Copies of this chain bind each other. A is one copy, B any other.
Amino acid sequence: MKQSQLFTKTRKEAPSDEVSKNAQLLIRAGYIHKEIAGVYSLLPLGMRVVENIKKIIRDEMNAIDGQEFIMSALQSKETWIDTNRWDDDVVDVWFKAKLHAGGEVGFGWSHEEPITNMMKGHLSSYKELPVYVYQFQNKFRNELRAKSGMMRGREFVMKDMYSFSKDAQQHEEFYQKTITAYKRCFDRLGIGKDTFVTFAAGGAFTEFSHEFQTICDAGEDKIYINREKNIAINDEVYNAETLKKLGVHADELEKVTTAEVGNIFNFGTKKCEEMDLYFNDEQGKRSPVHLGSYGIGITRVMGVIVEKLSDEKGIIWPQEIAPFTVHLVTFGKNENIFREAESLYYDLKNAGIEVLFDDRDAGPGQKLNDADLMGMPYRIVVSEKSAENGGVEITKRESGDTEYVDPARVIAYFTEG
């Protein structure tokens, strides 16, 4: 797209009340707009990033037979009564409102109960199990504090997946498959090598649950890791007993600050018993369904990526989630140079390479600063200087490495790797 057509503008300063680095950079670069603390609108560039993240997660969830759907945000009080989670003393992040027609509704902070309830209309036999469903849903949480930008929102996008299985073994198979799929997700999102599957506090049915924690200074969690043994332990279960069980010594572990980017949880049959989701098994016996839930915080991941992959100049997007692969920049008064840049813009587009063309009437300083701030993986400068150097100047945002490439070879540069 042509940048002159993009309505968002970069800005030198973030709002004075915005203390998190991720939101500061995303606001300054025109990706998001702050509505209130912890609530951000996604401007065109920000929406592209979120859609790219969703695309990766969708690929991986479809690959393990997930069926996408979408629940409502409005939820009935009745759905949450049987599990005792309607009460504000039990769940302290509810947004609730009174219906004009009478009664109360909640705005979904989670969907475990509504989806278990919905499944009652569609599950009755072991032949129908297992079932895996997932959604990308806006969650609403009435957080007391929301100072971490996209990393802790009062409204945020989450991928939540649920597995319905006939027994512990069928459940466990999918649980392990999801761990593998999640690893692929975080690899593709560019934070794989700093993301650890941690042992976290379990529930009624399991000793441990698992979280995916990414090393991040702005995170709210602490974990203990051993990279060689590939062991990671959440602070909450870090004790002598756990260490012994996992066969690791305290002095082999490094304490790091992390952000939780995903979690997976085994409810066993507890929730389905409470909510009356049963099926007829092979022997015709009425049995409770095994439920698992598997979350990834989509907008939180966006915040974590910006915290980790940025420098003093701005954001450094991994290629697969960048809003555009190439930021094509031209400047100066030479009309031939502008036409050359414009022609390259259409060539790149036609070759299927996503390109943002800075065709604005502005100086080199502003354009180059904006390109660094906005953070596309490749910047191409077409200028009199680049022509003198034998072509166009291609700079990788991550390394800063620059080379001059013959305009006729630019498409091959991208398509031939």
Query: Measuring CB to CB, which residues of chain A are less than 8 angstroms from any residue of chain B?
Result: 5-9, 11, 30, 33, 35-37, 39-44, 46-47, 65, 67-76, 79, 92-93, 95-97, 99-101, 105, 107, 114, 118-119, 121-123, 128, 131, 133, 138, 140, 142-146, 154-155
A107 interface neighbour in B8, B37, B43, B97, Cβ under 8 Å: B97
A142 interface neighbour in B7, B47, B97, Cβ under 8 Å: B97
**Contact B100–A33 (Cβ < 8 Å):** no
Nearest residue in B to A164 (C-beta to C-beta)?
A: B7
A107→B44 CA distance, assembly (Å): 22
A239→B364 CA distance, assembly (Å): 61
State the Cβ distance, A82 to closest chain B Cβ, in Å.
16
Secondary structure call for the A interface = mixed
A105→B105 CA distance, assembly (Å): 16
Q: What residues on B are CB-neighbors of A138 within 8 Å? A: 73, 138
Q: What residues on B are CB-neighbors of A5 within 8 Å? A: 65, 67
**Contact B70–A145 (Cβ < 8 Å):** no
A11 and B121 in contact, given A47-B68, A138-B73, A155-B74 (Cβ under 8 angstroms): yes
**Contact A41–B155 (Cβ < 8 Å):** no
A6 interface neighbour in B44, B67, B73, B100, Cβ under 8 Å: B67
Q: What residues on B are CB-neighbors of A119 within 8 Å? A: 7
A-B contact pairs, 19 of them (CB 8 A): A5-B67, A7-B123, A7-B128, A8-B122, A11-B121, A35-B74, A35-B76, A35-B114, A37-B101, A41-B71, A42-B70, A44-B67, A44-B133, A47-B68, A47-B70, A73-B73, A73-B140, A95-B105, A100-B144
**Contact A154–B97 (Cβ < 8 Å):** no
Q: What residues on B are CB-neighbors of A146 within 8 Å? A: 101
A131 interface neighbour in B7, B11, B92, B99, Cβ under 8 Å: B7
Q: Name the residue among A35, A76, A118, A145 with the largest chain B CB count within 10 angstroms.
A: A35
